[in-house]
A and B are shown apart, each in its own frame.
Chain A
Amino acid sequence: MRALYINYKRHKMVYWMTLPVILYFVVFHYLPMAGVIMAFQNFSPKTGIFGSEWVGFQNFIDFFNSPNFIRVLKNTLALSLLDLLFGFPAPIILALLLNEIRARLFKRTVQTISYLPYFLSTAIIAGLIHDFTSSTGPITTMIAPLLGKTANLLSLPEMFRTIFVTTNIWQFMGYNSIIYLAALSRVDSEQYEAAKIDGAGHWKQCIHVTIPGISSTIIIMLILNLGQMLNVNFEKVLLLYNSAIYETADVISTYIYRQGILSHNYGYSTAVGLFNSVIGLLLIVSANYVSKKYSETRLF
């Protein structure tokens, strides 16, 4: 306690500067948690949190018994896993490739272009995708020979996951590579020289020097990503999906949206949201545990 006080005395300004951040988390992330009570209620905005009927786990039971439960869970996991499988390595590969480029002007240009989609709003991205995949859109026309038909790609359940994951890569690859590029710049150049003397080529250098050099960053990012896994890009799914492709496109968050906001089942959708968060927490804790066990790197 006393140590803390001394520390406070010495770094007064620093402590005060953290205050807004702490307030932000308290106001926007901790206080709203009290709202999870709604998950155990038959909530009505008229009676509010204190007056609504208490129904225990009924909302959860309804969700688990609902025919949509398996589907939304499956879709959420499938989209997240595919996104992780293809979307997670993409920025690392891009960063490694950029790292090999010596022509600075070219490198800068590629970097800037690859960031651009990240700064477009999801609504615009979705609009672009809609146009490109409409029955006369350029992408549809391009892959029509492969499909054997021309149809609006967003009306084909089997195409949604591909569209979602590839456009995600396009949208986020450039921006996400920044952190890896920063990590790459910290790799000790003496190690490269040592490797060269030992006769390692570009490939070997990459495998034995570069990747181990940024492995801690990769693992931290992986843990963070796992925690976010069930929060698939909600706005994007919502803007892209339609009732013809609920089969593959309806995820937990869009289901919550339809049930809770549009149909006013607040209690029910809070329960579904809470379920989503609990799974997310389990994932991040177990990823951290595994990482702690097998390597030095961990988040907490």
Chain B
Amino acid sequence: MNQKNKRMTWNKRMTWSTIVVGSLLMATLTGCSGNSSQQKASQEELQQHLESQEGSTSLRRLVPEGKTVTLKAWRPTHSSIGTLMESWNDTLFQRWMEEQTGVHIDWITPVSGTEGDNLAMLISSGEYPDLFFDAGLVYPTGAYGLLKDGVVIDVAKHLDKLPNYKTELERSSVRQIESYSDEGEMASLSSFTQDDVQDATWYGILMRKDMLEKVNMEAPQTYDEWYDVLTAFKKAGLEKPYLLNSDGFPKLNMFIGGLGFGYMNYGGSVQPFYQVDGKVRYAPLEEGFRTYLEMMNKWYSEGLIDQDFLSLNSINAEFAAYPDPRTGSMVAPISVVNVIRELTPDKNVDYIAVPHPVVNKGDKIHVGTESRLVRSGMQISSKTKNLDLALQWADLFYSPDVIHISNYGPDESYYEKLPDGTYRFNEKVYANEDGFAAIDMITSIADAPAVVVSNRTVTDPWLLEQAELYDSINDNAYVISSSLTLNDEESKTYNSVMTNIIDYVEEMQIKFIMGIEKFDKYDAFVERIRSMNVETAMAVYQKALDRYNSR
């Protein structure tokens, strides 16, 4: 064989192998895009179809018959739902929705505990999904921050394409006050509570019932009684009488309300401030904050708090610690009790909800967990190529048919109609054979509705009763609404000041609790916060609060 010939064979072989490898690759790629039985709708026919039914309010196919379109959506999972389903597509509701509309949703689900980082990375990369769910909860500047940073569209500009949503929005004034910003923008399609009836508190303070009986003590009501009970628990051999999470502060303002301040409210967006009579306050500058840190420091040094509490830094870690029989008390979702009863290896372990602690018996509290009537909901990406589709899809969640099915699911065997016309999940959910928590069952059947029937998930009378423990002594007077918004200039000032302060305070609060920093340095700590210009940030917030109050 001469040189040229050799080369020919070589080239031929190359060509062949390229073709083979190439076609294999193509096969994998098309395989990934899935759903081969249905054809993907082209951009033109989709647009034509959507335009033909603009303004329609009824449940309908959004994609031509026999075709399908995929939207991408970012959405964190419910913490324990992973055991029931692999992705949001597996909920009965989402399957039904896909059948009805022809829109397939490709969910991007961050690992639990890393939602904030995941979202930040996604946004830094510039590759946005079409839809965001609950993103405002983990974005540092909240839902409106996403709008300001140009990540999502201003929903207010598209209201004419959202007829169902518009009807729901205009149903009451509180819905409008809470949904619009001061500049008349709307960062998300709000989610509402049906008939504006407030949900019962779902976060509570739980204590071991069996241990209280063992040490022969009543459920504590004041902080002093708490100390006595925890000490008794410790003496009785419990390793972790009180679970504290890694911030050193329980979530959702629980446990600190009795000391008269609010701190790190996660009810929508993270706000370090609270208000008294319309005046903005910052917890670390208040006396109650020091009292709290001194108390925690005492509890920690006496071993009443888990010595490894710093590792309780994700929802996963928290859920792993809840059913631990070495735990004596904790701040957690009340419904977790059902999960604990299921999971704990020691069947004697049982929990009750105890009242929010106060300084003197009978004190009222003004800040705690407030369930909101209006929450920030779905957000639509500013870069979506299917804006009309996303709008129409989102709007369907507010149409009467979908409201009902998103609350109770498409399968009628899971719920029953009561004589008063309301609905209730039945034993198939509450006493399901596999022993799943009711809340997880509900999520896998009905998913998260945009208009929620209040107390839908707490038909367990025990839970409702426990929740009333908190609601009865709390008037929420100190809470700042999470729909308060800062304008561009204000948020710039706020960020430049508060980023450093929050970083500093979060470090110091832990050090005070652990005794790394001594309390004779506390005044210097407060002085340092002041020198970092906290007043400027508070003034900015004050302005925004004034605007909100005059809405």
Contact = CB atoms under 8 A, between A and B. Distances in A.
A152 to B, nearest CB: 5
A44 interface: yes
Contacts of A243: 506-507, 510-511
A261 B510 contact: no
Interface string A236-268: 000000111011000000000011011111100
B238 to A, nearest CB: 15
Contacts of A264: 120, 140-141, 145, 149, 495
A262 B123 CA distance: 11
Contact of B308 (A42, A44, A152): A152
A135 B516 contact: no
A242 B308 contact: no
B116 to A, nearest CB: 7
Contacts of B141: 264
13 contacts: A42-B492, A44-B150, A46-B149, A68-B500, A135-B308, A155-B310, A242-B246, A242-B313, A243-B507, A244-B514, A259-B499, A263-B499, A265-B499
B498 to A, nearest CB: 9
Interface residues of B, number: 32
Contacts of B117: 261-262
Contacts of A47: 150
B310 A157 contact: no
Contact of B307 (A66, A135, A244, A266): A135
B521 to A, nearest CB: 13
A154 interface: yes
A134 B311 contact: yes
Contact of A244 (B149, B310, B500): B310
A12 B36 CA distance: 44
Given A46-B150, A66-B500, A265-B495, A157 B308 contact: no
Contact of B514 (A42, A66, A155, A246): A155
Contacts of A74: none
Interface string A149-187: 011101101000000000000000000000000000000
Interface string B136-149: 00001100010011
A154 B311 CA distance: 10
Interface in A45-70: 45-47, 66-68
B126 A45 contact: yes
A255 to B, nearest CB: 9
Given A45-B151, A264-B145, 12 more contacts: A45-B123, A45-B124, A45-B126, A46-B148, A134-B311, A150-B307, A152-B311, A243-B511, A261-B120, A263-B499, A264-B140, A264-B495
A44 B124 CA distance: 10
A130 interface: yes
B121 interface: yes
Contacts of A242: 246, 310, 313, 510
A204 to B, nearest CB: 51
B503 interface: yes
B495 A152 contact: no
A185 B310 CA distance: 48
Interface string A132-156: 0011000000000000001110110
